[in-house]
Structure 1
């Protein structure tokens, strides 16, 4: 007789902590995604920032790896994981409130680098706490549990831009930033006074304060860098695909919205499927397949001459992001199990770093080779990422091996 497969949904529903994590990520996703697309408009319209200078705002994302690493290290040395989640959320709240009150061009840049980079660490520490719970209460559906919780953030990112556009139009951009601060703080509320003690696996080596520690972190750092390569095309897509659709393909507003909106919807649908596949065949092979989908998506954008190719590109890219969302943080934690807080912080910093690098590549690439051929650049980078994932699959120690599902 075979064991009945464990239901990730049942595990999440029965656990007070997992239910709280789901609601927390939903709130955080709505708040962050409501403000992010409006920030450039805020800089230009409210502060009079020149457009080229406003575009440099996203370079402040490069502070995220430093903040993620430091917070993760402190978290891995603390007995209580949720303390750092709450501290990051409070710092993020203060940062968004300060952003709403900013009256100088330079202030948002400083606030983003110093406060919002720390605030972004809340999500990493929440996933570290999830890993503590999964280690303390193992299941045969770990990937699916993480994916189910991660789905809340994806839903938030689907709702946030719509709500943000409406709220900013009715109440103003500064009010929108205040509302974002409220959401960032509200992500704490579902947990109440819950505490999650850091899980200590006595079979793992203790932290080393030497070069050996960096050597041991190298698989995590390499994996994170490879993910950055794979994700650079997303910023280029959001920045320039709407322009290409409007100016070159003359696509209607509603159709442009459908093209942009289809990716998060498909990603949401694919998250549980990706997690189930990873539970059967292993996470790293599935991540490699996701990189192949991302490569194909960039090629679809680069060779597109009709809206159909753009829809295809979005569907393929959704596969990449479903793999990143469902598996990325779990793989990172498995590559550095003695410091899951550090692993979570380092990996999740890959997203803002890829955004900063993608923005720079997009600006230079559009000027050099134009639209839509600029997407050949992230296609080349994703090719390198795919090859690197293959090497990691062959050489790294086993990552989340297949389970009986």
Structure 2
């Protein structure tokens, strides 16, 4: 009976915190605007991302190998994100930088839509789109600043709601982008993405809360320059996240081909397999905060990485529609946990420079995409299909060990 009473009390507490988080988002201009901005960001980026290679080939006459190299330009995003985050931590001007990054995104995607030579998208991606990738990190840094001023049990759920909006955009975007490209053409589709980038600014208007920087004296601000030593835990954690995320480009590069050419699954089944992951992801996201509090955030992400191991083993060793669905359901569990808790853990690992921490963590997906792309290309040549999925299973397994060691160290430190 005591256990049951305690469980009921915890459930009531979780429900109360969830309602409080929804209330905070609905009543706060910053949180409400951040939610809408993140949805627009996810919508616009994901609408264009799957169409870029097609645009380079059909509109600009690039060869397939050259078009494939376009994705290597994403390696500039972590570098740009780091410098934007560092400047943000020095000045505390989160939303001012957010607007500049969003404007860079608009200019970048509009530039792609107007491109007439193959070299132009490559240059634009490095010069402008890499900078625009820092919009999300500035939003989450601003949200962190505001939540830090008003500590509450529901604060982490506020972050989860805003993060879910970004994921929601990534669910709708690919379908909208495919429709727009088919109905109006690839260049108008890129203009749609550019407009989404610019519209991110509208929900937040002229709002500009500036982070309160710690000071040594009343007149002398301390500029936050995180040393390499202070950043090591964050970099180690981000590296483990990269290992888990590296499986995504492998999956999206080869899973559809495997299902079509080897398993002979119908288009409807293939579409359902791809669509089930984000659905499961959104279902799990609201519960990640509560589970993280019970088990510990890093321990829960260790479990999520283990789900990634089993998901890729399903793709490699279970050659049927059921195996594909099982793998995607497990992957939904992976990202339903990582996408909510990852940003929270990253900010806690570098509390004196949350914008830098947010930028490093959120831009690391670009590095993971490059790693996964190279590993997938070499792996499919050496191992073939479906054995190429053993590589991301191995990567996720290494991440499980690393996260377990991190969680164990954290538990000892707290004890």
Could you state the TM-score of these two structures normalised by the residue count of structure 1? 0.94
Q: CA offsets, 1:81-104, max 9 Å, x none?
A: 111111100011101011111111
1:290 counterpart residue number: 304
Say whether residues 1:247 and 2:261 are aligned partners.
yes
1:136–1:199 contact (8 Å) kept in structure 2: no
Distance in structure 1 (CA, Å) of the matches to 2:315 and 2:152: 40
**Partner residue in 1 for 2:283:** 269
How far apart in 1 are the matches of 2:72 and 2:308? 23
Shift of 1:280: 3.1
Paired position in structure 2 for 1:162: 175
Match runs of 1:117-136 below 5 Å: 117-136=130-149
Partner residue of 1:358 out of 367, 372, 391: 372
Q: Tell me whether 1:151 sits opposite 2:164 in the alignment.
A: yes
State the superposition RMSD in angstroms: 2.0
Deviation of 1:338 after TM superposition, in Å, equals 0.3
Report if the CA contact (8 A) 1:143-1:278 is conserved.
no
- Match in the other structure for 2:49: 36
Seen in structure 2, the aligned counterparts of structure 1 residues 270 and 148 have a Cα distance that, compared at 3 Å, is same
Structure 2 residue aligned with 1:6: 17
CA distance in 2, matches of 1:231, 1:68: 18
1:212-242 alpha-carbon deviations (Å, 9 max, x no partner) = 8110110011111110001111001111101
Change (3 A) 1:397 1:192: farther
Structure 1 Cα separation of the partners of residues 289 and 199 of structure 2: 28
Query: 1:192, CA displacement in angstroms?
Result: 0.9
Count how many residue pairs are aligned between Structure 1 and Structure 2: 397
Please state whether the residue corresponding to 2:328 is helix, strand or coil. Answer: helix
Structure 1 residue 398, shift from structure 2 partner: 8.7
Question: How far apart are the structure 1 equivalents of 2:229 and 2:364?
Answer: 19
Q: C-alpha displacement at 1:302, in angstroms?
A: 1.1
Q: Provide the residue aligned with 1:311 in structure 2.
A: 325
How far apart are residue 199 of structure 1 and its match? Answer: 3.7
Unaligned runs of 5+ in 2: 1-5
| Residues in 1 aligned to 2:118 and 2:411: alpha-carbon distance in whole angstroms | 48
1:330 paired residue among 344, 352, 358: 344
Deviation track 1:313-347 (CA, whole Å, cap 9, x = no partner) reads: 00111111112210111111000000000000000
Aligned to 1:21: 34
Equivalent residue number for residue 93 of structure 2? 80
Alignment-derived partner of residue 217 in structure 1: 231
Q: Which residue of 1 aligns with 2:270?
A: 256
- Residue 201 of structure 1, CA deviation: 5.3
Counterpart of 2:3 in structure 1 is: none
Tell me by how many angstroms 1:281 deviates: 3.1
1:5-63 per-residue CA deviation (whole Å, 9 max, x = no partner) reads 42322222222211111111111111111100111111111111111111111111111
- Secondary structure (helix, strand or coil) at the match of 1:195 reads coil
Tell me if the contact between 2:224 and 2:352 (Cα under 8 Å) persists in the aligned partners.
no
> Contact 1:124 / 1:341 at 8 angstroms: preserved in 2?
yes
Instruction: Answer whether contact 2:247 2:372 (CA < 8 A) is retained.
Output: yes
Separation in 2 of the partners of 1:180 and 1:88? Answer: 14
- In the TM superposition, structure 1's runs of 4+ consecutive aligned residues that sit over 3 Å from their partners are 1-5, 199-203, 205-209, 396-399
- Of 183, 188, 200, 2:201 maps to 188
- Counterparts of 1:269 and 1:14, CA distance in 2: 24
TM-score under structure 2 normalisation?
0.92
Q: 1:200 to 1:362 in 2, by over 3 A?
A: same
What is the deviation of 1:275?
1.8
Provide the secondary structure at the position in 2 that maps to 1:198. Answer: coil
